[in-house]
Amino acid sequence: MVLAQGLRVGILGATGAVGTEILAILAERLFPVAELRLLASPRSAGQTLSFRETVLPVEAVSEQTLKGLDLILASAGASVSRQWLPIALKGGAIAIDNSSAYRMEPNVPLVVPEVNPDDLKTHQGIIANPNCTTILMTVALWPLHQVRPIRRIVVATYQSASGAGAKAMQELKDQALDILKGQPPRTEVFPYPLAFNLFPHNSPLNEQGYCQEEMKMVNETRKIFHAPELRLTATCVRVPVLRAHSEALNVEFAEPFPVQEARDRLQKAPGVQFVEDWQRNYFPMPLEATGKDAVLVGRLRQDISAPNALELWLCGDQIRKGAALNAVQIAESLIAQGLL
CATH number at residue 76: 3.40.50.720
Contact residues for 192 (Cβ-Cβ < 8 A; gap 6+):
199, 202
Q: Compute the distance between CA of residue 112 and CA of residue 143 in angstroms, rounded to an integer.
A: 13
**61 carries a ligand binding annotation:** no
Q: Are 31 and 328 in contact (CB under 8 A)?
A: yes
Q: Is pLDDT of 3 > 50?
A: no
pLDDT confidence bin for 53, thresholds 50/70/90: confident
Q: Compute the distance between CA of residue 99 and CA of residue 117 in angstroms, rounded to an integer.
A: 19
pLDDT at 5: 66
Does residue 240 form part of some domain? yes
The single residue of 132, 145, 201, 236 carrying the catalytic annotation is 132
Question: Annotated catalytic, 123?
Answer: no
**18 carries a ligand binding annotation:** yes
The CB-side HSE value for 118 (13 A sphere, CA atoms) comes to: 2
Does residue 2 form part of some domain? no
pTM over 0.85: yes
**163 carries a ligand binding annotation:** yes
Query: Is there a single domain that holds both residue 158 and residue 114?
Result: no
**15 carries a ligand binding annotation:** yes
**318 carries a ligand binding annotation:** yes
pLDDT confidence bin for 4, thresholds 50/70/90: very low
Total domain count, the chain: 2
Q: Is pLDDT of 9 > 90?
A: yes
**Domain residue limits at 158:** 134-318
Does residue 1 form part of some domain? no
Query: Is there a single domain that holds both residue 149 and residue 65?
Result: no
CATH number for the domain spanning 312: value is 3.30.360.10
Question: Annotated catalytic, 132?
Answer: yes
pLDDT digits (tens, 9 = 90+) for 55-104: 999 999 999 999 999 999 999 999 999 999 999 999 999 999 999 999 99
Query: Is there a single domain that holds both residue 206 and residue 314?
Result: yes
**54 carries a ligand binding annotation:** no
The single residue of 123, 145, 201, 245 carrying the catalytic annotation is 245
pLDDT digits (tens, 9 = 90+) for 281-318: 999 999 999 999 999 999 999 999 999 999 999 999 99
- Sequence length of the chain is 340
